[in-house]
Amino acid sequence: MRWLAHVTVATIVEDQGRFLLVEEMSADKKQVFNQPAGHLEANETLLEAAVRETLEETGWDVELTAVTGIYLYTAPSNGVTYQRVCFAARPVRHHPERALDDGILGARWMTREELAAQPERWRSHLVLRCIDDYLEGERFPLALIRD
């Protein structure tokens, strides 16, 4: 059997104590919260993927400011292993008229406390962990990522 890790990106976007999250439908048809996140595509850098996924899923242009962490996660639902590179970013411009990706119910600004109160709605435990790492000051220079 051939094993492949799935490379994904996620973006922590904070504005005045609230975080930009995506409300989406999971594979088992539950409404869940996640960071703007998705898979790295062919011929794309990790930084480009993070900016693209954030725009496609939330309608927000962002400026990446740091790497907050690199995580390895195996989903219990399907056994797939994901390597998530999580970035911090600042919001730049909102495009409210922009259509969001299929399966996205909408972008939501939430505090950490609001999110923490709903663990049954997290896409995975990484949703809160990435925010907590960000709040604890985890910041690595974008130059850490080499194309």
Domains of the chain: 6-142 (3.90.79.10)
The mean per-residue pLDDT over the stretch 43-71 comes to 98
Token digits of residue 134:
């960000």
Instruction: Give the amino acid at 58.
Output: T
Say which DSSP state 99 is in: P
Q: Which pLDDT does position 127 carry in this prediction?
A: 97
The mean per-residue pLDDT over the stretch 72-88 comes to 91
Q: Which pLDDT does position 26 carry in this prediction?
A: 84
Token digits of residue 68:
């907050």
Token digits of residue 1:
């059997």
Instruction: Give the amino acid at 63.
Output: E
Instruction: Decide which of 90 and 78 is more confident.
Output: 90
Checking if the pLDDT of 38 tops 90, the result is yes
Q: Which pLDDT does position 46 carry in this prediction?
A: 98
Q: Which pLDDT does position 56 carry in this prediction?
A: 98
pLDDT tens for residues 89-146?
A: 999 999 999 999 999 999 999 999 999 999 999 999 999 999 999 999 999 999 999 9
Q: Do residues 67 and 140 touch, judged by C-beta distance below 8 A?
A: yes
Q: Which pLDDT does position 70 carry in this prediction?
A: 97
CB atoms within 10 A of CB 108: 15
Instruction: Decide which of 18 and 147 is more confident.
Output: 18
pTM over 0.85: yes
